[in-house]
Amino acid sequence: MSEEYHYDLVVVGGGPAGSSAAYSAAKNGIKVALLEKENTIAETVRTSGVTWIQNIKEFGIPDDCFNPIKNFSFCSPNNEVTISDTIPRAAVLDVRKTYRWLANEAENAGADIFVKMNIKNVIENEKGDIVGVTGIGPKGETTFHAKVVIDASGFPSTVCKAMGLAPQWERFGAGAEYEMIAENVDSETWWLMVGQEYSPAGYAWIFPLGNNIVRIGVGVGKPESNVDPTQRLKEIIEKKLGPIKKLGKLTEIEFHYGLIPNDGLSRKTVFNNLILVGDSAGQANPLVLEGIRYAIKFGRVAGKVASDAIKSGNTEKKSLYPYEENWRKSIESKINSASKVQDRWIGLTDEEWDKELDIINELKPEEFMDFIKADFGLSNMIKLATHHPKLVVRQLFNLVKGKK
């Protein structure tokens, strides 16, 4: 048995980028299908859920979807620093609840959501442009015809790979994480743990969700290290390394594993009838490998641009290009700067990490937030250089500006 559907816009992937694109496109008055391969939206969690209060407010995410963070603690083999703020500026999302809220917003705006829909192939016209996708759904082979397709399938990049438009990511982060009940939790403080024992090309973390629940994880950069993050995570929990010992008794709730691209903004994201957004587009902050805020923000932009193009009757690359102009203007230079800092971090020894934490400790809370968010605007850089005459701080931020 086979099924066939006709839509203005088909969005592949029910994560934050896909739901956000479907929401803004449906809100703009076109017929939208949102396709998700799992049994439910966010059935599997693949991210630790770190994001920023400013973005949460901008997106209208409800208060019960996140735990606010105001203290940022770092641990290296022989050093420990904490930057404390008076107000929360970061947050740890309840990922499942947030993603389902985003999908519900899309559905309320008029998008049709199809779950258990595993897209395998694309439909091309005589010019080789995409005009739909095919896959296997609950009732067998299913075809979706579309004027525009948005690839929001995440790391696998299902649609653009099927089109032959993008190779596999060469650099990426692999993260393993346990969500656990902990005996002792400071719900306002996150921990980042650096050094060879935690991760030779990455970091470990403790992110609190409130109600004595924490996410303890390890991220490893590939191909820089061949360490298995799942094995390393088990080891540091068993050894109760660093701040983990402060948590007391730990009880596992569930395990998460995910991959996130770290190749920078290396892909074109607009083609005739096709837009890439979120992890499919490589839109991730290299410093802590987070991209949920980019997925939501640029998902909404993609949906609006796609729906405007569909209504105009012209869905060629030129009509969709305002989307790429938007995200490049917003984040391209910042991501490039963050990549330079990340390259520096990957090469640090344990002793150098001890010193690096002293540099971080010099920053005021708002300066630290600009730094860790990769918000390297010119005005921020000038303020930092003025406030921190120490040579080590100047060296770090001159690196960001591209000086030797």
38 lies in the same domain as 103: yes
Q: Give the tens place of pLDDT for each residue, 78-115.
A: 999 999 999 999 999 999 999 999 999 999 999 999 99
Per-chain mean pLDDT for the chain: 92
- Please give the Cα distance from 358 to 272 (Å, whole number): 49
Q: Answer with the one of 331, 363, 382 that is the final residue of a domain.
A: 331
- Residue 133 is given by DSSP the state E
Amino acid at 339: S
Question: For the residues 161-180, what does the mean pLDDT come to?
Answer: 95
SS3 of 224-261: CCCCCHHHHHHHHHHHCCHHHHHHCCEEEEEEEEEEEE
CATH code of the domain covering residue 306: 3.50.50.60
Better-predicted residue by pLDDT, 400 or 115:
115
What's the domain count of the chain? Answer: 3
Shared domain for 74 and 213, answered yes or no, is yes
Note the pLDDT of residue 394: 54
pLDDT at 351 over 60: yes
Whether residues 275 and 191 share a domain: the answer is: no
What is the CATH classification number for the domain harbouring 179? Answer: 3.30.9.10
Cβ 173 vs Cβ 217: under 8 Å: no
Contacts of residue 389, Cβ cutoff 8 Å, sequence gap at least 6: none
> Is there a contact between 277 and 284 (Cβ–Cβ < 8 Å)?
no
Q: Give per-residue pLDDT as tens, 18-33.
A: 999 999 999 999 999 9
Note the pLDDT of residue 382: 55
Residue 385: pLDDT above 60? no
Average pLDDT over residues 361-377: 81
3-state secondary structure of 124: strand
pLDDT value of residue 404: 38
φ/ψ bin of 11: left (φ > 0), alpha (ψ from -120 to 50), beta (otherwise): beta
pLDDT per position as a tens digit, 195-207 = 999 999 999 999 9
- My answer on whether 249 and 309 are in the same domain is no
Q: Which domain holds residue 373?
A: 337-401
Residues 318 and 211 placed together within one structural domain of the fold: no
3-state DSSP of 155-205: CCCHHHHHCCCCCCCCCEEEEEEEEEEECCCCCCEEEEEEECCCEEEEEEE
pLDDT tens across 39-67, in order? 999 999 999 999 999 999 999 999 999 99
Q: 216 and 306: one domain?
A: no
Q: What is the pLDDT of residue 403?
A: 42
Q: 378 burial class (0-12, 13-18, 19+ CB within 10 angstroms)?
A: exposed
Distance from C-alpha of 396 to C-alpha of 206, rounded to nearest angstrom = 26
Contact 16, 299 (CB under 8 A): yes
